[in-house]
Amino acid sequence: MTDLIFHSLHNDLKTATKQNGHPFRYFTLATNDSQNIPHLRTVVLRDLDADLNFYVYTDKRSEKINHIKTNKKVSLLFLDQNRLIQLSVVASAQMITDPVTINKIWKQIPDRSKQDYTTQQAPGDALTNPDDVDYLEGKHFFTALKITPIQIEYLRLKRPNHIRIQFQSSNKNWKGTFITP
């Protein structure tokens, strides 16, 4: 049964990369700063490869990039409120630095979305007014993160019994174990 559930969650995650309204499209990414203080933010699941690596886009000047340079361990939280399914993921993140790969992804981003990565001010910089954001021409700070899961915990709230499974990766093979909810 754990294999069926893993296959289902894998399909859900893959669907979320293509379907804007999917509950797993947006998820919470947690990083830790240099003082080990956790920071949470909502990000968009952009891609999922065959090895179950998650991909998100960001500005290379963002706080999360500095956190990941210090500590690659991250946590992800996905929630489907309608089906009462939660996925909690422990993972390792890395910034994609290969210019060919970044350029390939950049070319696929819709023009209206590209400006998010072309601000003169870095994310988190103070502004006097929200309209004071300056955009650069011909320059961007786009990058992508590759997030490799180490452990995935599945929780489904249902009656008569909730279902909770801990999936562990070993050589790209996932093994699930039922655990007490």
Range of the domain at 151: 2-99+146-178
Whether 82 is covered by a domain: the verdict is yes
Whether 122 is covered by a domain: the verdict is no
Q: Quick one: pLDDT at residue 158?
A: 93
Q: For residue 171, name the pLDDT band (cuts at 50, 70, 90).
A: confident
Cβ contact 92:81 at 8 Å = no
Between CA 136 and CA 117 the distance in angstroms is 9
Whether 40 is covered by a domain: the verdict is yes
Q: Are strands 73-80 and 163-170 parallel, antiparallel or unpaired?
A: unpaired
Q: What domain count does the chain have?
A: 1
Whether 123 is covered by a domain: the verdict is no
Whether 27 is covered by a domain: the verdict is yes
Mean pLDDT of the chain: 96
- Count of Cβ atoms closer than 10 Å to residue 156 Cβ: 18
Whether 127 is covered by a domain: the verdict is no
Whether 117 is covered by a domain: the verdict is no
Of 56-60, 85-89, 131-135, 154-158, the poorest mean pLDDT is in: 131-135
- Before 160, cis peptide (omega within 30)? yes
The C-alpha angle with vertex 41 and arms to 119 and 123, in degrees rounded to 5, equals: 20
Task: Check whether 170 has a pLDDT greater than 90.
Answer: no
Q: What is the pLDDT of residues 13-37, one digit of tens each?
A: 999 999 999 999 999 999 999 999 9
| CATH number of the domain bearing residue 27 | 2.30.110.10
Q: What is the pLDDT of residues 93-138, one digit of tens each?
A: 999 999 999 999 999 999 889 999 999 999 999 999 999 899 999 8
Between CA 13 and CA 45 the distance in angstroms is 8
Whether 111 is covered by a domain: the verdict is no
Cβ contact 76:92 at 8 Å = no
